[in-house]
Amino acid sequence: MITFYNPHHALHQGQFEMYRGALVPCHEVPARADHVLAELKRRQLGEVLNPQPFGAEALQSIHAPRYLGFLETAWGQWVALDPANAARDALPSVWPTRSFRTDMEPDNFAARMGLYSFDAGTPLTSGTWVAARAGAECALSAAQHVVEGGRSAFALSRPPGHHAGADFFGGYCFLNNAALAAQHLRNSGVERVAVLDVDYHHGNGTQAIFYDRPDVFFASLHGDPCTEYPFFLGYADETGQGAGLGANLNLPMPRGTDYAQWAAALEVALAAIGRFGAQALVVSLGVDTFAQDPISGFALQSEDYLRMGERIAKLGLPTVLVFEGGYAVDAVGVNAVNVLQAFA
């Protein structure tokens, strides 16, 4: 399996996040991708390449230009407020909520941060834009490899992407890599694309992007949003709207779910993808379903990821796999590469 690796991912390295009422060291760290890369090389699982460049129009196929403009210039705006800000990350502190206006972009930087975010756990750093942009190019390069006839490709990048919407960031995510890959497949002539999200946390950004579209099917297996982040999307009754009605499938599960329960839900998702008639697949590959993950609640073991990869491969679809979550850092390489090896 070919891997497109983000050589700039470590430029995004947050110092602190707001977690359960306290500023704590970030769970989303560069070592996550480093461990996956090391395990890929140890198992000699295939060629590792840098991504090819893509223009702004590729990002604009998913993300609002106003939002992209903010991300690209936000760090400079933050430091311009106070040169001392160069030594600390930017975190949002105020948000628009129901009945507030979002069509106007305020002049105040804190207000703009809030306009484009949905949590205080996603620090914006000096290298966020460069890292996120290169990560998006990894996903787009992986999709292009599949378009050109490759059976599969892996986008190894951070920050992750599936919580990012068309015009908002959060959940450690700024650009939605899986959505960008799916849209690139569509733009390249694949008529029906499925996105399968196996991260512990619901891919709220991906769902929001495709919710009213009939050409991209989104299926997500995740912790029950009644108790689990991101809380406000991911319920089973969310099935799409308008032309997209029926093209969204959420399979929430309780804390403590083991692989047998999880695999039964996977069968439901794969059957739905088959009925949809998908011609290509994008997998949001989060491995924070691992029993020892510090911010999640499922009970999968490392060997379960081999079975996961093998089962997904049986769909027989051209597949782009995109690295998402997984915060048991020492195990993330083994778990992610178990999926890839079994798939390959």
Residue-wise burial string across 47-71, b where 16 or more C-beta atoms lie within 10 A, e elsewhere: eeeebeebeeebbebbbeeebbebb
What distance in Å separates the CA atoms of residue 282 and residue 304, rounded to the nearest whole number? 20
Are 1 and 45 in contact, with CB atoms under 8 Å apart?
A: yes
Determine the pLDDT at residue 51. 98
> pLDDT confidence of 108, banded at 50, 70, 90?
very high
Query: Is the predicted pLDDT of residue 173 greater than 90, yes or no?
Result: yes
Find the catalytic residue in 163, 184, 201, 202: 163
User: What pLDDT band is residue 20 in, cutting at 50, 70 and 90?
Assistant: confident
The pTM of the full predicted model, rounded to 2 decimals, is 0.97
CA angle 32, 56, 37 (to 5 degrees): 20
Mean pLDDT over 3-30 rounds to 95
> How do residues 150-163 score in pLDDT, each as one tens digit?
999 999 999 999 99
Dump pLDDT digits (tens) for 86-96.
999 999 999 99
- Predicted pLDDT of residue 234: 98
Q: Are 192 and 40 in contact (CB under 8 A)?
A: no
pLDDT band at 21 (very low <50, low <70, confident <90, very high): confident
Is the pLDDT score of 110 beyond 90? yes
pLDDT at 19 (0 to 100)? 86
In what helix (H) or strand (E) does residue 196 lie, and over which residues does it extend?
A: strand 193-197
Rounded to whole angstroms, the Cα distance separating 311 from 333 reads 20
Bridge partners (DSSP) of residue 195 are 218, 282
Q: What is the pLDDT of residue 275?
A: 98
Average pLDDT, the chain: 97
Q: If you average pLDDT over residues 65-74, what whole number do you get?
A: 98
CA distance 2 to 289: 24
Mean local confidence (pLDDT), 16-44: 95
Domain locations along the chain: 2-52+127-343
Per-residue pLDDT band at 200 (split at 50, 70, 90):
very high
Residue 298 binned pLDDT confidence (cut-offs 50, 70, 90): very high
Select from 278, 202, 273, 188 the least CA-distant residue to 233: 202
Look at phi and psi of residue 46 and say left if phi exceeds 0, alpha if psi is from -120 to 50, else beta. Answer: left
Would residue 12 show up in a list of annotated catalytic residues for this protein? no
d(CA 79, CA 77): 6
Token pair of 207 as six digits: 């769902």
Q: Of 18-22, 116-120, 276-280, 309-313, which range is least confident?
A: 18-22
Query: How far is Cα 230 from Cα 242, in angstroms, rounded to an integer?
Result: 24
Percent of the chain with pLDDT over 70: 100
Tokens describing residue 208: 């929001």
Flag whether pLDDT at 120 surpasses 90.
yes
What percent of the chain stands above pLDDT 90? 99
CATH fold, domain 2-52+127-343, is Arginase; Chain A (3.40.800)
Q: pLDDT tens for residues 237-290?
A: 999 999 999 999 999 999 999 999 999 999 999 999 999 999 999 999 999 999
Query: Is residue 42 classed exposed, middle or buried when 0-12, 13-18 and 19+ CB atoms within 10 A define those classes?
Result: exposed
